[in-house]
Amino acid sequence: MAILIKGGRVVTPDRDEMADVLIEGEEIVAVGADLSCPDVDVIDASGKYVFPGFIDPHVHIHLPFMGTNAIDDHESASKAALAGGTTTIIEMICPGPEDEPRVAFQEWKELADAGCCCDFSFHLAVVRFDELSKQQVRDLVSEAGVASFKVFLAYKGALDIADEQLFELMEMARELGVIITAHCENAEAIDAMQKQLLERGCFGPEYHEKSRPRCVEADGVNHLCAFAELTGAHVYIVHTSCQAAVVHAIAARDRGVHVFVEAVAPHLVLDKTHAEQHDFEGAKFVMSPPLRDAEEQGHLWESIACGEIVTIGTDHAPFNFDGQKDMGRDAFTQIPNGIPGIQERIDLIHTYGVCAGHINLQTMVDVCSTQPARIFGMYPKKGQIAPGSDADVVIYDPDFEGVFTHADSESRVDYSGYEGKIRKGRSAVVLLRGRVVAQNGQHVGGAGGGRYIPRKPSH
């Protein structure tokens, strides 16, 4: 039966108006005033916003890291995503240096096929680039719909890639029309600073940020952009944490480099004092790049408002405090990196971005839905409310008020990084391809139902 969303305020980057939305099957078929249809289920959206389903361009679910694995599986993480209004995720496949790219892709996709409740796609990390890997990368682009790859300019000896291989990969990316996403730091500098801190007896999580300061991140951005300028490849800088890094990226963009910049929710609402809490509580807030001084939040919001930062993801990487984060009690270098947030992202951006006056609703939709869809080859099926688009729709209640709590989370992680913070707004109804999958911040869609989104090279 068709669904008619009546009386809501439809907000996309190019429209903000009172309108109805008619859905038949898995697609939107009409958007306009006073729509009607026989034999239709009506959803009353009076007093609410109607958004395209949100897209998280940066999540980790199946993540082997520092001798353990992230605690979520695809079912729990995707239920959390849907409860928060995110209908599509792009997961980072992170193989080890000995793993073949094709085998890693198959492993991650089988896990997602078996459990994912929202739609999904992948970035594939390249940590090995021998002749076999090069051919498999080409095959995954042409045969499996992988159109974005990940490199780490960090984690020396584990995930980092040599400059010679980075250059060759980026030349291949330009040739194939795919985009390179990059964790920008300096692996050698971080390794040296970590060793110095440990030798001086600096073991706690409060030293994590000191081992990878802002200049290290800015250097990584500059390094990546130089390679992009030389090769003509398109690059996407993930989880940018500070103004210095953004400045380097925008300077490169002004020179004609094809560079996109991402922020993630933790850097926008948390600061480094969270990681400096006593009794090892700070370990909950260890991520890389680290949380910065509170002043950086204002710089990041300004960059989002003016279009320098074009997407907001989460870098969702859920590790339990008990039994995982506490592996690093004797050395901060052994704390699994990551702050969970796949469910909280949209409410955080609405509360601390829109309600705080940093950005408007249309910008929120643009950076959390439309731009990820455009950059990663899913638009206009995703990221838009228009005839022919997938019926991924979020009916959002701006009047809801509460606080963020771990008890409300669908994730399996044992804490919330946002516990007790003020929350304004939540997803009242979430539809995935025309099917109601979440209501009032809770998943109601049953198990499974997510679909893999193969993508064509678009760069």
Separation of alpha carbons 301 and 355, rounded Å: 13
Q: Which CATH architecture has domain 53-375?
A: Alpha-Beta Barrel (3.20)
In contact, 184 and 215? CB cutoff 8 Å: no
Q: Are 159 and 187 in contact (CB under 8 A)?
A: no
CA 431 remoteness from chain centre: 20
Whole-Å CA distances, 302 to 296, 309, 357:
10, 9, 11
DSSP notation for 351-410 = IIIITTTSS-HHHHHIIIIIHHHHHTT-TTTSS--STTSB--EEEEEEEEEEE--GGG--
Domain range list for the chain: 53-375
Residue type, 251: A
Q: Which two tokens stand for residue 159?
A: 């995930």
Alpha-carbon torsion, ordered 283, 156, 100, 221, to 10 deg:
90
Sign, CA torsion 168/92/95/239: positive
What gap in Å lies between CA 219 and CA 126, rounded to an integer?
21
pTM above 0.75, yes or no: yes
Contact 426, 347 (CB under 8 A): yes
Instruction: Look at residue 145 in the predicted model and tell me its pLDDT.
Output: 98
Determine if the peptide bond prior to 289 is cis (ω within 30°): yes
Q: What is the pLDDT along the chain (459 residues), one digit of tens a residue?
A: 899 999 999 999 999 999 999 999 999 999 999 998 899 999 999 999 999 999 999 999 999 988 899 999 999 999 999 999 999 999 999 998 999 999 999 999 999 999 999 999 999 999 989 999 999 999 999 999 999 999 999 888 787 888 999 999 999 999 999 999 999 999 999 999 999 999 999 999 999 999 999 999 999 999 999 999 999 999 999 999 999 999 999 999 999 999 999 999 999 999 999 999 999 999 999 999 999 999 999 999 999 999 999 999 999 999 999 999 999 999 999 999 999 999 999 999 999 999 999 999 999 999 999 999 999 999 999 999 999 999 999 999 999 999 999 999 999 999 999 999 999 999 999 999 999 999 999 999 989 999 999 999 999
Whether the CB-CB separation of 236 and 180 falls below 8 Å is answered with: yes
Give 192-197's long-range contacts (Cβ < 8 A, gap of 24+).
194/333, 197/332
- Write the CA distances from 343 to 116, 171, 244, 333, 349, integer angstroms: 14, 36, 29, 27, 12
Residue 352 exposure: Cα atoms within 13 Å on the Cβ side: 23
Q: At what angle do helices 187-199 and 214-231 cross, to 10 degrees?
A: 160
Contacts of 323 (CB under 8 A, 6+ apart): none
Q: What backbone phi and psi angles, to 5 degrees, belong to 332? A: -60, -20
Given a contact cutoff of 8 angstroms between Cβ atoms, the answer to whether 366 and 302 are in contact is no
How far is C-alpha 434 from the chain's CA centre?
A: 23
Please report how many Cα atoms fall inside a 13 Å half-sphere around the Cα of residue 284, on the Cβ side.
Answer: 20
Helix (DSSP H) and strand (DSSP E) numbers for the chain: 12, 19
Please give the Cα distance from 440 to 84 (Å, whole number). 9
Per-residue DSSP letter, 200: T
Cβ neighbours, 10 Å, residue 334: 15
Specify the 3-state DSSP secondary structure of 298. helix
